[in-house]
């Protein structure tokens, strides 16, 4: 089925590509100003042919076009593509050569054709990488491993975005023929425990359990930040896959959260589902961590920061990790608390924008509860 994947770009693939391209743009903006290295890198290990058969650009072409158009990146970016299919690799080389302005890049994009396995992870583990953004988008799960992800993010400024085919991994977890593949994703001990735990679980509980265990594996005892975005099957009944960011820095996590918020297809009281559902019927139960409206957020903030004074920015920074909330959600929750008289704000007289009192990052909030 992999040979048919690039025949036509589905809505889900387009959203996935936009999320990666948006994060690449934000990541390079930060790295271009903060990194002391004269190089940055983008590494795509399952790149595909560059375009779908109908001519639609896939992620590699979108990324290169951003680099060509950027006055700094065109001199700094090292671009490495790989696809195990030699035909796809050759097609990508041809597509790259046809791009307008490709000759302006200081470092020409390199395209390889290798099967991804532990050998690649071992090479990355032994090298000191310049700040790099890695993208792992395999067909299925072959080649995906927690070791590879850890190797891609081990150096300063390096993040990884990867495709997690929940549908196939969910089936593979208890399939004795793919034990090694599952072990490479979750780790042997965690995978063995997970196989026992998921037996008899409802589909919703099983999904939440698998995602939580994956996040624990990749967080490496909470040293890393893990953020998933959920895609459902075309008919919208069940989860197809996730796009997941792994970053060592809270800034990367925060940036990606805002990008995923923007690309969510459904909101509850202004809180994003962190999901893309390509159907009209959206009466679905999301993972519990993504099902908390703003009134509940306000209650939680009152308990967490009772009788304390913090700025709006400090409240966001101290609370938002492992929640679905972005800065705009905190500001709306705080506005509601102010109207209810449960907090005081300094200054209290603030600008009115479209009939709503503003809530800037520097406003001081005192919780009176």
**Cα 212 from Cα 231, distance rounded (Å):** 17
From 217-221, 277-281, 364-368, the region with the lowest mean pLDDT: 277-281
Q: Residue 115 — very low, low, confident or very high, per pLDDT cuts 50/70/90?
A: very high
Average pLDDT (135-161) is 95
Residue 243: strand pairing partners: 163, 229
Location of structure tokens 């709306």: 332
Location of structure tokens 């009176």: 368
The reply to whether 2-288 and 292-367 are identical in fold is: no
pLDDT tens per residue, range 256-274: 999 999 999 888 888 888 8
Q: Assign domain 2-288 to its CATH superfamily.
A: Vaccinia Virus protein VP39 (3.40.50.150)
The domain limits of the chain are 2-288, 292-367
Is the distance from CB of 330 to CB of 298 less than 8 angstroms?
A: no
Match domain 292-367 to its CATH number in 2.130.10.10, 3.30.470.20, 3.40.50.300, 1.10.10.10: 1.10.10.10
Is the distance from CB of 225 to CB of 250 less than 8 angstroms?
A: yes
pTM of the model: 0.89
- Burial label for 125, CB within 10 Å (0-12, 13-18, 19+), is middle
Using CA atoms in the order 325, 135, 26, 210, what is the torsion angle rounded to 10 degrees? 10
From 3-12, 107-116, 325-334, the region with the lowest mean pLDDT: 3-12
Give the contacts of 3 (CB within 8 A, at least 6 positions apart).
none
pLDDT tens per residue, range 23-76: 999 999 999 889 889 999 999 999 999 988 788 899 999 999 999 999 999 999
**Cα 49 from Cα 103, distance rounded (Å):** 20
């Amino acid at each position: 089925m992999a040979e048919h994947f690039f025949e036509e770009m589905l809505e889900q693939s387009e959203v996935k590509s936009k999320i990666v391209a948006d994060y690449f743009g934000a990541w390079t903006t930060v790295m271009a100003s903060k990194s002391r290295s004269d190089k940055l890198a983008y590494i795509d290990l399952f790149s595909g042919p560059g375009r779908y058969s109908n001519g639609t650009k896939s992620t590699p072409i979108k990324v290169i076009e951003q680099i060509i158009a950027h006055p700094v990146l065109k001199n700094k970016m090292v671009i490495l593509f790989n696809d195990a299919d030699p035909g796809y690799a050759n097609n990508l080389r041809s597509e790259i050569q046809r791009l307008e302005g490709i000759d302006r890049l200081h470092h020409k994009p390199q395209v390889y054709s290798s099967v991804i396995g532990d050998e690649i992870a071992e090479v990355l583990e032994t090298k000191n990488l310049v700040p790099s953004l890695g993208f792992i988008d395999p067909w299925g799960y072959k080649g995906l491993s927690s070791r590879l992800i850890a190797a891609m993010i081990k150096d300063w400024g390096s993040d990884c975005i990867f495709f997690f085919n929940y549908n196939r991994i969910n089936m593979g977890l208890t399939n004795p023929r793919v034990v090694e593949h599952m072990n490479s994703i979750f780790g042997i001990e965690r995978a063995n425990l997970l196989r026992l735990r998921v037996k008899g679980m409802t589909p919703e509980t099983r999904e939440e359990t698998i995602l939580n265990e994956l996040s624990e594996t990749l967080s490496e005892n909470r040293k890393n930040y893990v953020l998933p975005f959920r895609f459902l099957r075309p008919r919208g009944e069940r989860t197809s896959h996730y796009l997941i960011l792994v970053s060592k820095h809270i800034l990367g996590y925060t940036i990606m959260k805002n990008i995923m918020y923007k690309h969510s297809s459904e909101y509850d009281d202004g809180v994003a589902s962190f999901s893309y559902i390509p159907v009209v019927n959206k009466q679905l139960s999301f993972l519990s961590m993504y099902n908390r409206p703003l009134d509940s957020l306000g209650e939680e903030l009152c308990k967490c920061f009772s009788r304390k004074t913090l700025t709006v920015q400090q409240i966001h920074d101290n609370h938002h990790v492992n929640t679905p909330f972005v800065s705009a959600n905190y500001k709306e929750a705080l506005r509601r608390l102010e109207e209810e008289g449960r907090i005081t704000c300094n200054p209290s007289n603030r600008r009115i924008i479209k009939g709503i009192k503003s809530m800037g990052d520097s406003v001081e909030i005192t919780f009176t509860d």
